[in-house]
């Protein structure tokens, strides 16, 4: 009995360490952190005197909360029982947002628009603009080369695992938006809601770096998959990975004023 208690405590401690390590690796994975940390940087740069009211469109269970640990509202088609306690979950069935005009200071969308059909993207952006008061921040995979890489990885995953990779299914089915499409969507939404916008964007995560990471990630061999954890050391230097052809773009949409009659 005396031996069992220390043994149980040791096993519990090891399990706790393993879970903490897994959570750390997920939070600071190159693929996930490079999506959200730019958004956090944009929000913090504004030096808001009070915690801003944030809507995360397509948040999933965690959204931005691992990187910006404040209460937010998240919308998605479903949530699991392990969602972040900082998320107020709102389930939606389509791109319509059940909120008042200008209800949120910031509306963010990270790797969501590629999961929406090309026909619904403009409506989705229009809804984000409608409920935003100050700024929209959109992070999205974009362009033909990024789309070509996703198709290549999708086929490779099917070859290795004998089934498709659910997170790439929509990328292949819907295709990735182009820069021209995104700008047109923002401008059309601005005209519809009679708002004046300042649009800026910049690329993130070089395509070759992203492909190397994903190629390791989709391996069946645990030791090979574990190599992705070493990319954690590149996260503090992520700005230096935004060279050449990149996989994503970060769009910052400042809502300046309404048009005057």
Structural domain includes residue 167: no
Which pLDDT does position 59 carry in this prediction?
A: 94
Structural domain includes residue 232: no
Side-chain half-sphere CA neighbours of 26 within 13 A? 9
Strands (E), 68-224: 72-76, 87-91, 104-110, 132-141, 195-206
Structural domain includes residue 148: no
Structural domain includes residue 4: no
CATH of the domain at 191: 3.40.50.150
| 3-class SS of residue 95 | coil
Structural domain includes residue 194: yes
Mean pLDDT (whole number) for 88-94: 95
Structural domain includes residue 112: yes
> In terms of residue numbers, what domain contains 244?
29-142+176-206+237-256
The first and second tokens of residue 117, run together, are 């059909």
Number of separate domains in the chain: 1
Could you give the CA distance from residue 130 to residue 144 in angstroms, rounded to a whole number? Answer: 29
Statement: residue 3 has pLDDT above 80: no
Could you give the CA distance from residue 94 to residue 83 in angstroms, rounded to a whole number? Answer: 20
- The CA-atom distances, in angstroms, between 252 and each of 62, 129, 139 are 21, 12, 9
Which pLDDT does position 261 carry in this prediction?
A: 46
pTM of the predicted model, to two decimals? 0.88
Helix (H) or strand (E) holding 166: helix 166-174
The confidence band for 260, taking pLDDT boundaries of 50, 70 and 90, is: very low
Structural domain includes residue 230: no
Structural domain includes residue 85: yes
């Amino acid at each position: 009995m005396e031996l069992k208690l220390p043994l149980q405590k040791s096993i519990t401690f090891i399990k706790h360490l393993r879970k903490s390590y897994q959570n750390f690796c997920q939070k600071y994975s190159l693929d996930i952190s490079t999506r959200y940390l730019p958004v956090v940087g944009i929000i913090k740069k504004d030096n808001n005197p009070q915690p801003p009211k944030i809507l995360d469109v397509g948040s999933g269970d965690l959204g931005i909360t691992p990187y910006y640990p404040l209460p937010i509202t998240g919308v998605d088609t479903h949530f699991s029982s392990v969602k972040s306690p900082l998320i107020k979950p709102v389930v939606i069935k389509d791109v319509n947002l059940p909120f008042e005009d200008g209800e949120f200071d910031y509306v963010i969308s990270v790797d969501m628009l590629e999961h929406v059909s090309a026909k619904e993207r403009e409506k989705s952006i229009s809804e984000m603009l409608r409920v935003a008061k100050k700024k929209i921040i959109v992070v999205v995979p974009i362009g033909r080369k990024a789309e070509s890489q996703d198709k290549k990885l999708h086929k490779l995953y099917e070859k290795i695992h004998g089934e498709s990779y659910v997170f790439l299914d929509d990328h292949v089915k819907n295709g990735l938006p182009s820069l021209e499409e995104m700008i047109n969507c923002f401008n059309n939404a601005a005209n519809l809601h009679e708002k004046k916008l300042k649009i800026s964007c910049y690329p993130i995560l070089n395509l070759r770096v992203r492909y190397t990471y994903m190629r390791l990630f989709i391996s069946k061999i645990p030791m090979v998959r574990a190599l992705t954890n070493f990319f954690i050391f590149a996260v503090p230097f992520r700005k230096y990975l935004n060279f050449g052809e990149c996989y994503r773009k970060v769009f910052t949409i400042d809502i300046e004023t309404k048009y005057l009659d």
